[in-house]
A and B are shown apart, each in its own frame.
Chain A
Amino acid sequence: MSEKIRVIAIDDEKLAIDVIKEYLKKADKVELIAECRNGFDGLKTISELNPDIVFLDIQMPKINGFEMLELIDDPPVIVFTTAFDQYALKAFEVNATDYLLKPFSESRFLEALEKAKKLLKDKNKADEKIESLEKYNENNSECIERIVVKNGQKIIIIPVDDVDYIEAQDDYVMLHSSKGKFLKQKTMKYFDEHLDANNFMRVHRSYIVKINSIQQIELFEKESYKIILKDGKNIPVSKSGYSKLKEIFN
């Protein structure tokens, strides 16, 4: 590779970016092509400039580093930088994507850069790592409070309380919220496990419903039921879904 490796740093603190900038001066054939101060800006810049490596902070305003990553179809090699994030730390332990704990030394930084460069040569391996990180995030059972989706060029943050129901749609799910419908590349299983079980219920293989949006439950055909939502929509209920519903409503 005779060309320079193109790098972006995303962090909401300017001083944190300054450190990366300084350390990169000592690195060979690497160029910092952009600095971003939040996830929105980061997302836009990544799609415009298509960098090779991204140094990404996790805690940022609006959308965090993980959420930003979810919205990128073909992510570059990511090196996370974080001060203290218990869940993220655990994620890294089971995953080979490198991470830097702030404050980090120059030698530690260059080591991470070398690793990232190696991954760059092996695109498959890099994708694998991102995938396994996503898988890890799916398996950790923390409840989510918001869902970030892309609608054309716009990024929309949906608080989970605004979601009425979720419908399976091939490899995606359709989120039906008070703001409209949005497609999200996640599994039903993911939402089943990451939405607060006190507020949401999987009533059918293909449907998760917010309990508060349920208007009534009706007999549909012989031994089969459907839910009528407050906005009038009908949702089928499976046998096991019905017995779960009965438990709360009785």
Chain B
Amino acid sequence: MFNPFLKNRENLVVYLLIWIVIALFHWLALYYLLQITLEDAILDSLVYNIFYAGIGISLWYPTRFITFESYSMPRLLLNHLMAAIITSIIWVFLGYYILSNFLIKEKVYYEFINDSLAWRFVVGILFYAIIVSLNYVIIYYNNFREKELKESELNSLVKEAELKTLKYQINPHFIFNSLNSISSLTISNPEKAREMTIKLSDFLRSTLSKNEKMKTILSEELKTIKIYLDIEKTRFEEMFEYVEDISNECSSIEVPAMLLQPVFENAIKHGVYESIEKVIIKMNCKKDGEYLKITIENNFDPEAVPRKGEGIGLTNIKSRLKLIYNQENLLTFTKENNIFKVNIFIPILSKELINEREN
């Protein structure tokens, strides 16, 4: 945070104007009420007020460091009291020294200034109190504004994330095309049509009931994915094949729900939908040290022009993984020799770690 009086020209002008008004009153009081000569009154007012205008600007720095958060109330007050006394004494005597030694030679004035030192000291304390209080108000106002801004940013982020989730769940193209396949199968193969209806229902139910905050075990997650792939297989028949290699120890490892679904949707969308060659989707799961390593790959048509939005799904998953596990690079992908390959690393949490997190 910058010194508010120096932050921009307007603030500085306002600050100096206030001092000019104070100096004016100061001069008027000396000249009219206390019968000091015009010249002496002007000099007195100028010296003392210019000094405090300077001191006032520098008071910002102690205010910044003596905060309510880091000091108890009595200590804070004590600190400021000491600072107020010291600045006032310096101010009063510096002014006195300059005025009496260099500027003013008149005897009447000497008497007056000697009598008024105590009053000046009180005014110095008062100035200190006013400026420091003002600084605290400014600091708290700024903090409040900043917090408000952050909150609204956070809110829009949350909304965006929710919107993206919604988009995943409802893919109208997939649903209507699947319904069309069912319509077709009722003519040629009613039994298969019934099977497909059930699969589509199971898939929709599972998608609608899960959300991205949940966790599930790998084998559960794969069940939904199998249903999804079965439906697409009915639609595209010989156009694609799914091969999986999952080691037994992986099945019961906990993974975030709906994490792999978009990866498979991607493979279908950019592989099968865009290619006139057969597409093979391969999945491989194994333990790799402290991680569950999941690899999903598919061949694709290199001539297919990347569509808008490609990669957004994967970026989403990456940031989700980062959010959950607080680690970077848990998802990587490569495009080589017409093979698109996604690697996902899911940290395997030990029982104690899980308990710790839940508490």
Do A and B come together as binding partners? yes
Among residues 30 to 61 in chain A, which have CB atoms less than 8 Å away from a CB atom of chain B? Answer: 37-38, 40, 59, 61
From B177, which residue of chain A is reached at the shortest CB distance?
A83
Please report the total number of B residues contacting A with Cβ < 8 Å. Answer: 29
Cβ–Cβ < 8 Å partners of B179 in chain A: 102-103
Kindly specify which of B211-219, B273-281, B336-344 makes contact with the partner chain: B273-281
Cβ–Cβ < 8 Å partners of A59 in chain B: 173, 273
Known: A15-B235, A159-B305. A61 touches B180 (CB 8 A): no
Q: Contact at B303–A61, with CB atoms within 8 Å?
A: no
Among residues 163 to 197 in chain B, which have CB atoms less than 8 Å away from a CB atom of chain A? Answer: 172-173, 176-177, 179-185, 187-188
Q: How distant is A54 from chain B, measured CB to nearest CB, in Å?
A: 18
Q: Contact at B176–A83, with CB atoms within 8 Å?
A: yes
Residue in A13, A37, A38, A84 whose CB lies within 8 Å of B235: A13
Residue in A16, A22, A61 whose CB lies within 8 Å of B187: A22
Q: Contact at A13–B177, with CB atoms within 8 Å?
A: yes
**A-facing mask of B293-308, CB < 8 A → 1, else 0?**
0000000010111111
Most interface-central of B176, B184, B303 (chain A CB within 10 A): B184
Q: Contact at B176–A145, with CB atoms within 8 Å?
A: no
Q: How distant is B9 from chain A, measured CB to nearest CB, in Å?
A: 28
Among residues 1 to 38 in chain A, which have CB atoms less than 8 Å away from a CB atom of chain B? Answer: 12-16, 18-19, 22, 37-38
Among residues 227 to 273 in chain B, which have CB atoms less than 8 Å away from a CB atom of chain A? Answer: 234-237, 239, 273
Cα distance A37–B238 in the bound complex, in angstroms: 12
Cβ–Cβ < 8 Å partners of A159 in chain B: 305-306
Among residues 67 to 86 in chain A, which have CB atoms less than 8 Å away from a CB atom of chain B? Answer: 83-85
Cβ–Cβ < 8 Å partners of B173 in chain A: 59, 83-85
Cα distance A59–B269 in the bound complex, in angstroms: 11
Cβ–Cβ < 8 Å partners of B172 in chain A: 83-84
Q: Does A110 contact B (CB under 8 A)?
A: no
Known: A15-B184, A16-B180, A22-B187. A61 touches B307 (CB 8 A): no
From A57, which residue of chain B is reached at the shortest CB distance?
B177
Q: Contact at B184–A61, with CB atoms within 8 Å?
A: no
Q: Does A197 contact B (CB under 8 A)?
A: no
Known: A38-B276, A40-B276, A62-B276. A102 touches B180 (CB 8 A): yes
Q: Contact at B274–A61, with CB atoms within 8 Å?
A: yes
Cβ–Cβ < 8 Å partners of A146 in chain B: 305
Known: A61-B273, A102-B179, A103-B182. A13 touches B236 (CB 8 A): yes
Cβ–Cβ < 8 Å partners of B234 in chain A: 15
Q: Does A96 contact B (CB under 8 A)?
A: no
Q: Contact at B184–A19, with CB atoms within 8 Å?
A: yes
Q: Contact at A61–B305, with CB atoms within 8 Å?
A: no
Q: How distant is A197 from chain B, measured CB to nearest CB, in Å?
A: 15
Please report the total number of A residues contacting B with Cβ < 8 Å. Answer: 24
Cβ–Cβ < 8 Å partners of B276 in chain A: 37-38, 40, 61-62
Q: Contact at B184–A18, with CB atoms within 8 Å?
A: yes
Q: Contact at B183–A62, with CB atoms within 8 Å?
A: no
Q: How distant is A184 from chain B, measured CB to nearest CB, in Å?
A: 16
Q: Contact at A157–B303, with CB atoms within 8 Å?
A: yes
Known: A14-B237, A84-B176. A62 touches B188 (CB 8 A): no
Q: Contact at B303–A83, with CB atoms within 8 Å?
A: no
Cα distance A146–B303 in the bound complex, in angstroms: 11
From A143, which residue of chain B is reached at the shortest CB distance?
B308
Cβ–Cβ < 8 Å partners of B181 in chain A: 13, 15-16
Most interface-central of B172, B180, B239, B276 (chain A CB within 10 A): B180
Q: How distant is A46 from chain B, measured CB to nearest CB, in Å?
A: 17
Known: A59-B173, A84-B172. A18 touches B187 (CB 8 A): yes
Q: Contact at A19–B187, with CB atoms within 8 Å?
A: yes
Cβ–Cβ < 8 Å partners of A157 in chain B: 303, 305
Cβ–Cβ < 8 Å partners of B301 in chain A: 61-62
From B277, which residue of chain A is reached at the shortest CB distance?
A61
**A-facing mask of B146-170, CB < 8 A → 1, else 0?**
0000000000000000000000000
Cα distance A103–B186 in the bound complex, in angstroms: 12
Cα distance A13–B185 in the bound complex, in angstroms: 12
Cβ–Cβ < 8 Å partners of A38 in chain B: 276
Known: A59-B273, A145-B305. A102 touches B187 (CB 8 A): no
Cα distance A7–B181 in the bound complex, in angstroms: 21
Q: How distant is A71 from chain B, measured CB to nearest CB, in Å?
A: 16
From A158, which residue of chain B is reached at the shortest CB distance?
B305
Q: How distant is B176 from chain A, measured CB to nearest CB, in Å?
A: 4
Cβ–Cβ < 8 Å partners of B187 in chain A: 18-19, 22
Known: A19-B184, A19-B187. A62 touches B176 (CB 8 A): no
Q: How distant is A163 from chain B, measured CB to nearest CB, in Å?
A: 12
Q: How distant is B253 from chain A, measured CB to nearest CB, in Å?
A: 36
Cα distance A102–B182 in the bound complex, in angstroms: 11
15 A-B pairs, CB-CB below 8 angstroms?
A: A12-B273, A13-B181, A14-B237, A15-B184, A15-B235, A16-B180, A22-B187, A22-B188, A37-B276, A59-B273, A62-B276, A62-B303, A103-B180, A145-B308, A159-B305
Given contacts A14-B237, A18-B184, 8 further A-B contacts (CB under 8 A): A13-B236, A16-B177, A61-B304, A62-B275, A62-B276, A101-B176, A103-B184, A157-B303
* Leading 5 A-B pairs by shortest Cβ distance: A83-B176, A103-B183, A102-B180, A15-B184, A146-B305
State the A residues within 8 Å of B (CB): 12-16, 18-19, 22, 37-38, 40, 59, 61-62, 83-85, 101-103, 145-146, 157, 159
